[in-house]
Structure 1
Amino acid sequence: MNIRLMCFLVLLLLLTADSARMRGGRRRGGRRRNRIGSPRFIFYTSPSRREYYDNPNGARILKSSHFDYEFYLGHKIVFLCVAMGDPRPRITWFKNGVELFYHPFFQITERLHGKNKLKSKLEITPATQMDSGTYECQANNKYAVDRRAFKADF
């Protein structure tokens, strides 16, 4: 193995381990994930930035649908998003980057779970070719915004 390649791999490993340690914040389940599932590394320059970005009252998505969703034409598509925060977050749905307001074939239902938890479900019945695309749920309150993306294809 080439010595330069080996040095590069060791350096990359050290930077990855160091950034995970410096990140602080949430510690449930290891690395934080961004909306497409790859690791997100955050370097804080000051303690005030850490307090803002890792606020324990900030909105965060606890549970969401699987990223890659395959559906059958004419059947139902269901996306799930459960968020928590204090104050309770608001959940907004997007398709291909555009907020979903109204469509004759979809329905959004929300259910409260306790004081600070919200469950939102997006159902599309019947599914057509036009329903394929990238869907996102966004949970936000005054402290933070969290997003998850779902890719739907038939």
Structure 2
Amino acid sequence: MQQVLGGLEIGRVNIAARAVGVAQAAYDAALEYARERTAFGQPIADFQAVQLKLADLATEIQAARLLTYWAAAQADGGKRVDMEAGMAKYFASEVALKASLEAMRIHGGYGYSQEFVVERLYRDAPLMAIGEGTNDVQRLVIARALVSGKGRVGW
């Protein structure tokens, strides 16, 4: 049973890392497109609404990346990481969902075109929220660890 639970924990860290990759790819595509696409004689990256989306995504992706590194480092140290892996998987997969949707919005109608990578990322992101336990399950894992005293927030 311990091996099964340990496998789930590592699987959740893996999903978190994959979700960070999906989110980063969506962000990179959105940033590149925003720099190149013009409207009203200027790149759409110059518009405040697009800048705010990009700033939010960059911040959330970095937070997801750090949660994932934290969970992986704890696992590498030989600790049980059910709460840490759950936090990383939950947050990173939600960021991947948001990033893929925002990238599609920045691309506008082109976001649905298979010529652009964001179309595939938009299809791939939901798998991150389901794999190795749904995000609702992750929230329960996190809450149970906190309530039982086995989990702790902070360094």
Structure whose alpha-carbon radius of gyration is higher: 1
Query: Is the TM value for this pair above 0.5?
Result: no
Pairwise TM-score range, normalised by the shorter structure: under 0.3
Higher strand share: 1
Higher helix share: 2
TM (norm. structure 2) is 0.25
